[in-house]
Structure 1
């Protein structure tokens, strides 16, 4: 079984929970709400659909494909940043929070897109990037102009006369240091990410009010939710104490969940979330279950949903993962949030390589069944599922030959750093080829015309060569395709609240290749059986579980004899239980 994730930015430490515990869901089901029942589709705007031939996806391209989004059955769309930006980090470096990037279109295009989604019963999630801004934002331009500028304290500055600031590791800087010297005022500014992404100073109440006003601006336009990028880093210990050597391996412990983070979130809740029918989710969930609950439990009045990374960070090298690791991770998170709080369910996003290449099998023989199996998993677990664009088709990793083909700042700067350190560059490139975030950002494959119908120009990132086979047009006309299976699975979830709120109990918890569990609510139950291997597998259905109607099956047949079920490679079945 092969799988891999993007460069691991942090190691997350979690409290263990018994995977076999059957929690009481009475409190959860008594608090049913639309964002718990949502099926979220994450859409990377640069890569979805280009309407004007410049090679970059745009808002009018999304508008063209609104009917396609509706056909999927999804109920909410999260779009990565579309604000004005110099694009050092593909839009995560924002220069104007109240304007649309010219490559993407205009504010009128945004309004039309939002209305089109709402007309189709689809809600919209705005990506909010406020741990940092672009260095081209007017706030930072003013801040670096002089030490007594009114905007100076919008960012973290360390005057040079105090000496070299305590080392801080940067996620994206090729030199590895998050402090960048600026000669204009003879001082260093802090950037946890790219040097063109200076960290905002959340200790300054003026900064916080600026952010709340920005969020209100978009809420007044009608957006339905906010995803807070890298927000667990917003609060910092501004004494900047020395960290132990090697701390970057536990960066959340030292960078995340700062001393005033909960104060800021409660203030944000009072200023914004409490005044609109919106939900909020932050990237990351701290380093313990206690951290996560403190962020999202209802009585905290902070966020509504935890978005943890343990599942995607199980695979941080070429060795992949084991099913035990996956099952134990998802089971303990389910158990920890059975009675209070709410979690996200996902295995792919814009910061990772493709779902089927990491967790399934992207060979021609097994790509389709393993894609269907993985989507069955994501859409049958308790929590809110996040489905990444193209995974409904079974899109795969792209195979790059050289660093010149990459566009991701993490890949490019990582390459330069490895080169400067004398690393084994063949090994580095092999790992990068499988891990890179660019794998998950290649253009959407619409049809078998040039550039997969994504653009009439030259795409900003190459289209995968397999687009002539894997594309929307082909799969729409094939009743057995990944796409049409995805639509059926989405509908099954929407039709059955037990797949949203029901109790989760693992069946055959020690099986090395089969992940099986029941979902139960109000006297109804289903059995989910997933073969995570490329070989046939036998599973014994335990006594007391009487299978009834087959709710979904990614193969045409089921091979069963008594309580013995012979699964085909990557087979996924959901039974109604009698």
Structure 2
């Protein structure tokens, strides 16, 4: 009976499955009973889709500790169009900068006139990529060969210079790009496959649906890691579950590790 989710004929179950009225009470109890006695061996990250800045402060405030950090997805939702995730729209740089700045400022510590920290307000995760997101250099940068390296380095610098715990997803440190999908048969992710057939059942044009899937499908992040320029990018001697991104001959670890000016060495220097 809940309202339909954007771009879907189904209801939005999120309101019934997350952020219950006693969530902070229960997390604080878990923190004090389970996490705090083992604080040197445990790090807690809350996957907090849809969380507000104010809620993030509550989840990670040291005055009533619950989690060490939140992992929120606001900045990777900015390019969703009227039809939802698979209706991606061009993302103005100003909008992305404003969103990142709002979270940086909202979770920044309280300081006195001398700049000394007097109180913490929370802690965030810093990320571009993960297993559910398309490749950052294709999404937020420019994966054209003329601009890919500088784009990837810029994104890496933002990732590590922002306040928060940086997360690097496999292949991100190489500047791996989105892959090439020739048709729905190239996809493996059920979200993408189900969406395709759902939209066709509603009368949408197949080419239009595929054009929306390609830049944002989760399968972009699930191609094999590109180790070298050999068969299957050195990932396996067998048949991978999903095809290797065709540009692995140029983009791979063997070509970048130890190579001055490479994306990998830029990440290494930042870390």
TM-score (norm 1): 0.41
| Contact 1:253–1:287 (Cα < 8 Å) also in 2 | no
Asked if 1:400 corresponds to 2:181, the answer is yes
Write out per-residue CA displacement over residues 244-263 of structure 1, whole angstroms, 9 at most, x where no aligned residue. xxxx4xx7666531112123
Aligned ranges 1:260-275 → 2 under 5 Å? 260-275=22-37
CA distance in 2, matches of 1:286, 1:295: 13
Asked if 1:412 corresponds to 2:193, the answer is yes
Structure having the higher Rg: 1
Q: Which residue of 2 aligns with 1:319?
A: 89
CA distance in 2, matches of 1:404, 1:272: 46
- Is the partner of 2:161 in helix, strand or coil? coil
Q: Which residue of 1 aligns with 2:117?
A: none
Q: CA RMSD in A?
A: 2.1
- Is the partner of 1:372 in helix, strand or coil? helix
- Is the partner of 1:279 in helix, strand or coil? coil
Write out per-residue CA displacement over residues 160-205 of structure 1, whole angstroms, 9 at most, x where no aligned residue. xxxxxx458689xx9736xxxxxxxxxxxxxxxxxxxxxxxxxxxx
Q: Which residue of 2 aligns with 1:110?
A: none
CA distance in 2, matches of 1:398, 1:286: 28
CA distance in 2, matches of 1:448, 1:295: 45
- Is the partner of 2:242 in helix, strand or coil? coil
| Contact 1:285–1:292 (Cα < 8 Å) also in 2 | no
Asked if 1:308 corresponds to 2:89, the answer is no
Write out per-residue CA displacement over residues 493-534 of structure 1, whole angstroms, 9 at most, x where no aligned residue. xxxxxxxxxxxxxxxxxxxxxxxxxxxxxxxxxxxxxxxxxx
CA distance in 2, matches of 1:416, 1:449: 35
Kindly state the Cα deviation for residue 413 of structure 1 after the two structures are TM-superposed.
1.1
Write out per-residue CA displacement over residues 408-428 of structure 1, whole angstroms, 9 at most, x where no aligned residue. 111111112111111222111
Q: Which residue of 1 aligns with 2:125?
A: 344
CA distance in 1, matches of 2:94, 2:219: 28
Match of 1:333 among 103, 122, 134: 103
Structure 1 gaps of 5+ residues are 1-165, 178-247, 491-578
Asked if 1:439 corresponds to 2:223, the answer is no
CA distance in 2, matches of 1:254, 1:320: 32
Kindly state the Cα deviation for residue 332 of structure 1 after the two structures are TM-superposed.
1.1
Q: Which residue of 2 aligns with 1:428?
A: 209
The total of aligned residue pairs comes to: 251
Kindly state the Cα deviation for residue 461 of structure 1 after the two structures are TM-superposed.
0.9
Q: Which residue of 1 aligns with 2:83?
A: none
| Contact 2:51–2:72 (Cα < 8 Å) also in 1 | no
Kindly state the Cα deviation for residue 287 of structure 1 after the two structures are TM-superposed.
3.8
Match of 2:231 among 447, 450, 469: 450
Q: Which residue of 1 aligns with 2:62?
A: 298
CA distance in 2, matches of 1:167, 1:289: 24
| Contact 1:312–1:348 (Cα < 8 Å) also in 2 | no
Between Structure 1 and Structure 2, the one with more strand by share is 1
Write out per-residue CA displacement over residues 452-499 of structure 1, whole angstroms, 9 at most, x where no aligned residue. 010010001110111111001111242121111211122xxxxxxxxx
Q: Which residue of 2 aligns with 1:282?
A: 46
Structure 2 gaps of 5+ residues are 81-86, 110-120
Write out per-residue CA displacement over residues 7-64 of structure 1, whole angstroms, 9 at most, x where no aligned residue. xxxxxxxxxxxxxxxxxxxxxxxxxxxxxxxxxxxxxxxxxxxxxxxxxxxxxxxxxx
- Is the partner of 2:46 in helix, strand or coil? strand
CA distance in 1, matches of 2:139, 2:212: 12
Kindly state the Cα deviation for residue 320 of structure 1 after the two structures are TM-superposed.
2.2
- Is the partner of 1:413 in helix, strand or coil? helix
Match of 2:257 among 472, 476, 493: 476
CA distance in 1, matches of 2:32, 2:260: 48
**Aligned in 2, Cα 1:288/1:477: closer, same or farther, shift over 3 Å?**
closer
**Aligned in 2, Cα 1:352/1:449: closer, same or farther, shift over 3 Å?**
same
Kindly state the Cα deviation for residue 281 of structure 1 after the two structures are TM-superposed.
1.0
Kindly state the Cα deviation for residue 286 of structure 1 after the two structures are TM-superposed.
4.5
| Contact 1:337–1:343 (Cα < 8 Å) also in 2 | yes
| Contact 1:283–1:307 (Cα < 8 Å) also in 2 | yes
- The one of the two structures with greater contact order (alpha-carbon pairs below 8 A, sep at least 6) is 1
